[in-house]
Amino acid sequence: MKKAALWLALGAVAFLAALWAAPQAEGLWSALFPEVSRPAYVQESWFVLLGSHLALSLGAALLAAMLGIPAGIAATRSSGRALRPVVDAAFTLAQSVPPVAVIALALPLLGFGAAPTLLALVLYGALPLLRATVTGIESVPAQITEAARGLGLSPWQRLTRVELPLARPVLLAGLRVAVTLSVATTAVGAVAGARCLGTPIIIGLTNANPSYVLQGALFTAWLALLLDRALSLLAGPQSSP
Amino acid sequence: MIRFEDVSQRYGEVQAVRGVTFGVPSGVLCVLLGESGSGKSTLLRMVNRLIEPSGGRVLLQGQDVAGIDPQILRRGIGYVIQSVGLFPHRSVAENVATVPRLLGWDAARIAARVDKLLAMVGLEPGEYRARRPATLSGGQAQRVGLARALAADPPVLLMDEPFSALDPATRRGLQAELRRIHANMGKTILLVTHDVEEALALADRIAVMEAGRLVAEGPPLAVLGWETPASVRRMLGAETLAFHRLSALRAEDFALPGFAPGAPLLAAGGTMRDALLLMLTHGTDRAALAGEAARHLPLSAILAAP
Ligand SMILES: Nc1ncnc2c1ncn2[C@@H]1O[C@H](COP(=O)(O)OP(=O)(O)O)[C@@H](O)[C@H]1O
Ligand SMILES: [Mg+2]
């Protein structure tokens, strides 16, 4: 546990160092892409791109959690059972439309920038969280909820003291999927003009600069991996009482 | 203490409970006996409002439970189920402390109560307090379940097949524990079982259920006596009923004065059934009784037992 956290911290430091070094590593990029005249991406600071990428993807994940988790809780209440198919259908629809399509469809409505991307990311991330919440709560053995009821826990106490703590591993696994998906998918937002680690990819593609594409792809993937690690550390072994 | 008044429950086509009326006096351990599906659990769960009867009413100390807030009602009634249902993410002590916590007791009072209860159900507090439910055997888990039900000292205890999932030796140990606790604490207990032997081992009174109806109710000997309707006798296993009846008779009530040289010694508090088994084991026709005065029990006394 301790060791894994240390490795994670080292990985994060290496990532930040690479972001800092990338604009200065002219030599490295020109060695890789000799035909490109200006191979180092220097238009914007990588840290600015990282910041807005994180704000966008984590913000979207947060919003997705604020939608998906309460919807999952509502769908598992005895009063919400009837609601369940409707909620499921709505979220399945959201999931079956690819994010690029959502962005494209939202463009005329929301205009260029971060908004269409945010919309796509939220719709995309809410479903895994809804599913995880429902699965997690429904995996709590019936005799445990029966005992909780029989001992006089109120519905709210049953949810917060029994169901959610026992659903925690499944919930955190869902959260991890949602965040990782969100971080990886945010890069697509560059198409609609959202500033993020995908921006150099789009610029590189439109200007026939494979060096930009590589740098953007590298850092996007690296960030997604780092966050996945971090969240698996959180969700991993039952650390809390 | 508990009173069922013309209570019914139907689930669609299934009439699970049909017009049941009877009472459990204060301090009495009443066993609800019947085959699987006869409506025992449904009846039991009406007392703490886990099920609302579709007809009739349930009174607790003269008060209709339908008028009591379910959470408050349940915190004042111990509830033990076959599958125990300990909270796996909480320690043994935290499990036992569930209801006192809900009632807002202070930490010191809770800690003292938890230790006292663990000791009462035969678990060394120092050893078990911090354990997780996953590390307990079935018997230990049900001891914790019993301690959790008794934590806030409720006057009434509901037990739904509490020992049915345990192996016979563990079950007998827990039955003895429950008898001892009942004798010491004077709780009113309603216990569901399908096991005639268990009913006889525990009951002050027995209520027999069949297909949703109450078919017999009273002290064990009256319920399992010769005058019991044939259908009830059949259900309870007519061929072994005579033998089971002996469990409800105390040997000393039938003992004769005088020594019985060479006869095996029956432990204090033994039943007629224990005496018969002892005689069968030793191949004798009499057993000596433990105690100050010399007493013995001849086989003829068992055969003549009412
Ligand atoms: N929630 C329910 N929905 C439908 N039928 C039920 C439900 N609970 C119990 N029953 C039916 O009611 C009858 C009595 O059940 P129960 O009280 O559990 O019996 P017992 O505890 O004596 O085995 C059975 O036929 C059972 O199938
Ligand atoms: Mg039952």
Domains of chain B in start order, with CATH, are 2-76+155-238 (3.40.50.300), 90-146 (no CATH), 249-303 (3.90.1280)
Instruction: Say what the pLDDT of residue A110 is.
Output: 83
The answer, yes or no, to whether residue B292 has pLDDT greater than 60, is yes
Residue A238: pLDDT band with limits 50, 70, 90: very low
| Closest among A164, A157, A132, A135 to A68, alpha carbons compared | A132
Q: Across the interface, do B84 and A147 touch by the CB < 8 Å criterion?
A: yes
Give B168's contacts (C-beta < 8 A, 6+ positions apart): none
Q: What percent of chain A has pLDDT above 70?
A: 97
Ligand 1: which residue has its CA nearest to atom 21? B41
Q: What is the mean pLDDT of residues B180-193?
A: 93
Choose between B203 and A37: higher pLDDT: B203
Q: Report how far Cα B268 is from the mean position of its chain's Cα atoms.
A: 22
| B273, containing H or E segment | helix B272-282
> Taking ligand 2, which is a single-atom ion, which protein residues have CB atoms under 5 Å away?
B 41
pLDDT tens-digit series, residues B261-284: 888 998 888 888 889 999 999 999
Residue A239: pLDDT band with limits 50, 70, 90: very low
Find the ligand nearest to B33 CA: 1
The rounded mean pLDDT for chain B is 91
Ligand 1: which residue has its CA nearest to atom 11? B16
Measured between CA atoms, the residue of chain A closest to residue B44 is A150
Residue A240: pLDDT band with limits 50, 70, 90: very low
Give CA–CA dist B9/B17, Å, rounded. 5
The rounded mean pLDDT for chain A is 87
Return the axis-axis angle of helices A2-21 and A210-235, rounded to nearest 10°: 160
Instruction: Say what the pLDDT of residue A133 is.
Output: 93
Ligand 1: which residue has its CA nearest to atom 24? B37
Distance from CA of B86 to the nearest CA of A (A): 6
The answer, yes or no, to whether residue B225 has pLDDT greater than 80, is no
Give B77's contacts (C-beta < 8 A, 6+ positions apart): B47, B48, B60, B154, B156, B157, B158
Residues, chain A = 241
Instruction: Say what the pLDDT of residue B204 is.
Output: 93
Map out the domains of chain A as residue ranges: 44-239
Instruction: Say what the pLDDT of residue B175 is.
Output: 93
The answer, yes or no, to whether residue A213 has pLDDT greater than 50, is yes
CATH no. for A44-239: 1.10.3720.10
Where are any strands of DSSP class E within chain B? 2-11, 14-24, 29-34, 55-60, 63-64, 77-81, 156-160, 188-193, 205-210, 213-218, 256-257, 265-266, 286-289, 295-298
Choose between A1 and A45: higher pLDDT: A45
Choose between B237 and A56: higher pLDDT: A56
Q: What are the C-alpha distances in Å from A32 to residues A111, A200, A202?
A: 37, 17, 19
Choosing from B7, B10, B13, B14 the residue with most ligand 1 atoms within 8 A of its CB, the one to mutate for a pocket test is B14
Residue A241: pLDDT band with limits 50, 70, 90: very low
Ligand 1 atom closest to the Cα of residue B39 is: 17
| Closest among B27, B26, B23 to B186, alpha carbons compared | B27
Q: How many angstroms separate the first and last alpha carbons of chain B?
A: 31
pLDDT tens-digit series, residues A94-127: 778 787 888 888 888 888 888 888 888 888 888 8
> Distance, CA B76 to ligand 2 centroid (Å)?
22
Distance from CA of B217 to the nearest CA of A (A): 26
Tell whether ligand 1 has an atom less than 6 A from the beta carbon of residue B38: yes
Q: What is the mean pLDDT of residues B52-80?
A: 95
